Amino acid sequence: MNAERIYRMLLRAYPPAFRAEYGREMMLVFRDQCRDSDVRTLGFWMRVFWDIVLSAPTLRTEATRTVEVTMKLAAILTVLLAAFGIFGAVNDWSAASQHAGTYVLAIVMGVAASLLLLGAGVAILLQKRQAARLTLVASLLCFIATRLVFPWMGLFLQLVGSVLPVGLLIALYWPRKSSTLGAASIALVVLSGLGLAVPQLCRAQALPLGRWTGWAGPMDRSSAHAITFDVTPVGDSLQIMLHPDTGDDYRLDAIRLRDDTLRFTLQRTRALPPGDVPGGAHGSSCTLLRQRAGYYTGLCTGPDGMRSDLSMVPPGSTHAADTVKDLPLTAAQRESLVGSYSVILPMGGQDVLRIFEENGILKAHSSHENRTGRLLYQGDGAFRPEGSDFVITFVIEAGRATSFQGLREDGVIKGTRT
């Protein structure tokens, strides 16, 4: 074994980053020493060995201290991001009853992934590397499962859930890897931490799937039209179709859901003959704000500048009665509806609906459900039973209601005055 090979082995006492930066220069200095001294003497090697003993431990300690400081910063970031993820999931839990089952499952799995990430950060702070590695792997697997269940989560949440654990796993092996790989992993961790600066993008936002209800009407009129929305997943995005009671269907384009604000434009789905002007709500730009109960209310502005109210109520919401218009009725209008109606329910069932007036409020009693509730007037002969997500439309003849019809999720209901 020649002298240079022995010296290269001795240089392993220095930190990898130091060897990568100064190893070549140290070999050149050693060659100069070999020319000026006798490498076969014990004194020569004693001087070389003593120089390494004096300098290598100090450099090792300094490098270890730098790694520990960096890892502590990364661990603190991990704890903060995990706590932020838990807070966001708990905040969304208030509306979980209005969402599909997959959304609730995604919230639970997201909380589990955040808790594991929080545990990994604590383990790093306590310098328990093996426990931190296992927890990070479990957090990463839990997040991947969440991503499969809930594919339309935000970009920054995906960065935090995937890049952060991978970056920390690489950083935990930094002493055994090159300095470049370690520095890159820490950079990934810090980059993920930038999500704290834009917390509104960190929440896993999505609209509940299924049939939404709501109303829409010009601001300068008292009438309102019942509308429904169909929210369905298409790949990693959502498709929303608007079905007003006027007959023309619309597609929601340019959907932007950021924090509690929902923005979109309306595009008519039916193709028009060449030369025809779309008209209606085509081209309207809408901005809605999410309310505490989970529904959305806001304004739509048409191409002509006309502004309309719009409300969107998620499926299964218990707040349907609070989020729809209850327009005023005259005494004559209320009187024209009072009476008993024989109702044919979906699947051939039957019911008797008794409509009566109580203290100026129109109410209906169902013998089939043995329940009494208000009838909320939506305009144009349409009423929404209190607490329901469908409307019934009455046929008025000679100032008196003769029948009604409505569309529920399970089918059509028809009523005839008896």
Q: What are the pLDDT digits (tens) for 123-138?
A: 877 778 788 888 888 8
Residues of the chain below pLDDT 70: 1, 61-75, 77, 84-104, 106, 149-160, 171-206, 218-224, 234-238, 245-247, 259, 272-279, 292-293, 317-325, 387, 389, 409
Question: pLDDT at position 270, please?
Answer: 75
Q: Which residues pair with 289 in a beta bridge?
A: 261, 297
Dihedral of the alpha carbons of 56, 59, 60, 65, in degrees to the nearest 10: 160
CATH class of 331-417: mainly beta
Topology (CATH) of 210-322: Lipocalin (2.40.128)
**Contact status, residue 411 vs residue 346, Cβ threshold 8 Å:** yes
| Phi, psi (degrees; rounded to nearest 5) at 60 | -60, -45
Indicate the burial class of 382 (C-beta count within 10 angstroms; 0-12, 13-18, 19 or more). Answer: buried
> What is the C-alpha separation between 15 and 134, in angstroms, rounded?
27
Question: pLDDT at position 312, please?
Answer: 87
Question: pLDDT at position 364, please?
Answer: 93
Question: pLDDT at position 98, please?
Answer: 42
Question: pLDDT at position 68, please?
Answer: 60
94-118: b or e for each residue (b if 16 or more CB lie within 10 Å)?
ebbebbbeebebbbebbbbbbbbbb
Q: What sign has the CA pseudo-torsion 31, 36, 39, 42?
A: negative
> What is the C-alpha separation between 64 and 375, in angstroms, rounded?
73
> Closest Cα partner for 189 from 162, 216, 209, 163?
163
- The whole-model pTM stands at 0.36
**Contact status, residue 118 vs residue 86, Cβ threshold 8 Å:** yes
Question: pLDDT at position 120, please?
Answer: 80
